[in-house]
Amino acid sequence: MIFDLEKETLPREDLEALQLRRLVDLCRRVYANVPFYTKKFDELGVTPDHIKSLNDLSSLPFTEKRHLRDHYPYGLFAVPRDNVVRLHASSGTTGRVTVVGYTRRDIDNWADLMARSLAAAGAGRRDMVHIAYGYGLFTGGLGAHYGAERLGATVVPSSSGATRRQVQFMRDLGATVLCCTPSYALHLHEAAREEGLDFRDKNMMRLTTGVFGAEPWSEEMRHTIEKNMGINAMNVYGLSEIMGPGVAMECVEAKEGLHIFEDHFLPEIIDPDTGKVLPMGEEGELVLTTLTKEAVPLVRYRTRDITRLINVPCRCGRTHVRMDRVMGRSDDMLIIRGVNVYPSQIEAILVETEGLTPHYQIMVDRVDNLDQMEVQVELSEDFLAGGEVKRLQNMTKHLTRRIKEFLGVTAQVRLVDPRSLSRSEGKAQRVIDNRKG
Ligand code: DLL
């Protein structure tokens, strides 16, 4: 179902005209109200009046996470504090937190966009939406919550934690849609099995759809979750600085790339090293400009997420451009002896291998000035039960060879007992890099 038929299927020309109007308005607002942007624009010698076409976007300055940190907490706000009705914050892995704010209209738009996202996943007002993203300063819980209510569905605001109780609630209340991180979905699946419950048995569990995001996950992981749980696992993307979840969403019709809600966000792909805009279809860093955000509007925000844009018309009828599944963040790309490796590439290899569970961790170290990578992955109970030493050795060899073949790096593979790696309730920490600091 398309939640906002008119906006989501606007003919390209009309969409671009709307974007241009909104871009000019955005520039006027930030130039007049945010000293950081007044200075940046002045330094580059541009004013809002210079924006005559969407191509002029590339003459505008970038905004980076460090700018938000430097102006902590309210320095980039474009409206008086009285007009801000909500704050969220994101901690990130390093440094100070960043604080983002929302006006009444920002919250309203966000609810609309998350409602669009849930509808694109196939959800509607008859659904029972179980939200296991964390509620609080993290945008996942409340973002999904307002969207599900806007859609008219019934919401179970479960938040994260108390995993066994969540599974029982999902059974008792008849959850049909689950919103959480993909790693937490796996955890719920495991907890269900321990309770003798099976998500695939639709007489027992009514779940049909997952709306998963907030961390990178591979296509292979999608297949695993879908197979284990008997559901459609859909990908939702977003980030707190831009809004929260609901910036882009896959449609159930194509399940190939996430539609970026272009009437609210203007995407570009740049070369992360040079900052140059790349041609359509090339892989690089996603940059987003918020067209309608009032409280903290951002011009050309560098997301650090690596993806590419797909402008082939989609069979669902939406005209908004799609972005490919995020393959990783430019800042969590590992460089192992000079070779670039994304954790999601390792995940893809592990998840498609019979006999393993989708639970893994990557440890990186430097020994005698040489990078060492160890991939720890849990064996499945079945594999372990039939496990002569020979089979285990063969599995280790097989994985080491696949990683070498596909990524060009040598990894130590360590097979570990089922359930021995720690489980996350929110974003999984896949990599422990001991080389830093
Ligand atoms: O994770 C917002 C969110 C909540 C998105 C719930 C989807 C669902 P932050 O904590 O600010 O916000 O983290 C944003 O998470 O820049 C990406 O690196 C990563 N991320 C988010 N969604 C996806 C996804 C929320 N579908 C950062 N695939 C982003 C891959 C994702 N990475």
Instruction: Determine which residue's CA is closest to atom 9 belonging to ligand 1.
Output: 239
User: 390-418: per-residue pLDDT in tens?
Assistant: 999 999 999 999 999 999 999 999 999 99
Distance, CA of 217 to CA of 325 (rounded, Å): 8
Measured N-to-C along each axis, helices 139-151 and 104-120 cross at an angle, to the nearest 10 degrees, of 70
- What was the pLDDT predicted at 231? 98
What is the distance in A from the centroid of ligand 1 to the CA of 239? 5
Distance, CA of 132 to CA of 144 (rounded, Å): 10
Q: Which of 178, 287, 326, 425 to mutate to test the pocket of ligand 1 (most atoms within 8 A of CB)?
A: 326
**Cβ 322 vs Cβ 338: under 8 Å:** no
What is the distance in A from the centroid of ligand 1 to the CA of 307? 13
Distance, CA of 105 to CA of 21 (rounded, Å): 18
Amino acid at 213: G
Whether this model's pTM surpasses 0.75? yes
Which tokens go with 97? Answer: 């937190």
* Residues lining ligand 1, Cβ inside 6 A: 90, 133, 139-140, 213-216, 235-240, 244-245, 303, 305, 326, 329
Distance, CA of 34 to CA of 349 (rounded, Å): 46
**Element containing residue 394 per DSSP (H, E):** helix 389-407
Categorise residue 164: left if φ over 0, alpha if ψ from -120 to 50, beta otherwise.
Answer: alpha
- What was the pLDDT predicted at 95? 59
Q: What angle do CA 228, 229, 230 make, to 5 degrees?
A: 100
Strands 370-379 and 412-416, sheet pairing: parallel
Q: State the chain's maximal CA–CA distance in angstroms.
A: 73
**Cβ 148 vs Cβ 131: under 8 Å:** yes
What is the distance in A from the centroid of ligand 1 to the CA of 215? 5
Q: What angle do CA 275, 140, 127 make, to 5 degrees?
A: 125
Instruction: Determine which residue's CA is closest to atom 29 belonging to ligand 1.
Output: 239
User: If DSSP codes are grouped into helix, strand and coil, which group holds residue 236?
Assistant: strand
**Which stretches of the chain drop beneath a pLDDT of 50?**
none
- What was the pLDDT predicted at 333? 83
Among the atoms of ligand 1, which is closest to the Cα of residue 241?
Answer: 11
**Cβ 337 vs Cβ 409: under 8 Å:** yes
Distance, CA of 89 to CA of 142 (rounded, Å): 12
- What was the pLDDT predicted at 26? 98
User: 129-143: per-residue pLDDT in tens?
Assistant: 999 999 999 999 999
What is the distance in A from the centroid of ligand 1 to the CA of 45? 34
* Chain center to CA of 381: 30
Q: Phi and psi for 56 in degrees, rounded to 5?
A: -70, -10
Q: What angle do CA 37, 39, 40 make, to 5 degrees?
A: 60
